[in-house]
Amino acid sequence: MKLYNVGILGATGAVGREMMKILEERKFPVGELRLLASARSVGKKLPFCGKEIEVREAKADAFEGLDIVLGAAQNPIAQEMAPHIVKAGAVFVDNSSAFRMDPNVPLVVPEINPEDVKAHKGIIANPNCTTIVTLTAINALNKYSPIETIIASSYQATSGAGAGGPVELLEETDAVRAGKTYEPKVFPYQIAFNVIPQIGGDAFEGYTSEEMKMQNEGRKILHLPELKVSCTCVRVPVVRSHSISVVLRTKEKISVAKARELIAAAPGCKLVDDLANKKYPMPLDTSDQDLVFVGRIRDDLTDEKGLNLWCCGDQVRKGAATNAVQIAELLL
């Protein structure tokens, strides 16, 4: 079997570490694994396949000899390093939002549009975590009858804000219970025993940047340029795994029974839909695995062509690291 030299840009962060775990889990044919991060992380050692790999500094000449680079760094680093990665002859699978809406960069969810990978010019973008989870849940419905509109509300876990998010939630919870004060650092307000209806900055007519990603990225991934999405993103006091309530309208009516049949057979999905027996997707059940659970499927009572559903998925894995590794697998 041919082996591939793989780099991880931003290897010491939560997503970078998860990428290492998933490469090992999925037995990706790694020859050399090169871990790259900022100068302050140089010399740290991280475990991979029974070995300890030392972190190197991410700089212009760090990519020579690599075949694939998985990006887990912020936009400015991704933008700075991308030309050097491409020049070195590697393919950059980037988890930041820097290149997602670039018309020359494919935006890929392997269960939905794997063929788009063929159009890459050295960079492939990984979509937003909430977009990945939602579109994986509804892709089979869209294939059966094109989706025209989506109304979505996301309930996003604290780990979506990075490794510090769950730490702040747990420390803040302890402080509140003990009657002590706690100054939020990761979130703008107390997240313990609270929900915060803003993720991202003001982007378009009162919608945040996180909310607009569902429409803008959804159009590109699903190849639906006229898709209309109205989204509200909310941070909730959950450690891991995002949940999304979806109301969608399709061109032709899809019955509840047909929707269940389609979703049960869809790649990347698990149907969990038995209200009478209290069976439905929840963050605790969907954490630390790669399937998107879908349930609470029912007719929309305001639109004869509408369906309502609820889905949950691990945003660190399928919403970020696993999706990137799956894209890399398409390149083999």
Catalytic residue positions, numbered: 129, 242
Measured CA to CA, the distance from residue 292 to residue 134 in angstroms comes to: 8
Residue where the block lists tokens 């969810």: 109
Coil, strand or helix: which one is 179?
A: coil
DSSP-assigned states of every residue in 120-169: -SSEEEPPPHHHHHHHHHHHHHHHHS-EEEEEEEEEE-GGGG-THHHHHH
Max alpha carbon distance in the chain (Å)? 60
> 207-220 burial, b if ≥16 CB within 10 A, otherwise e?
bbbbbbbbbbbbbb
DSSP bridge pairs for 245: 153, 310
Query: Two tokens at 66?
Result: 């690599």
Q: Which helix (H) or strand (E) holds 329?
A: helix 322-331
Q: Provide DSSP, 45-112.
A: EEEETTEEEE-EE--TTS-TT-SEEEE-S-HHHHHHHHHHHHHTT-EEEE-SSTTTT-TTS-B--TTT
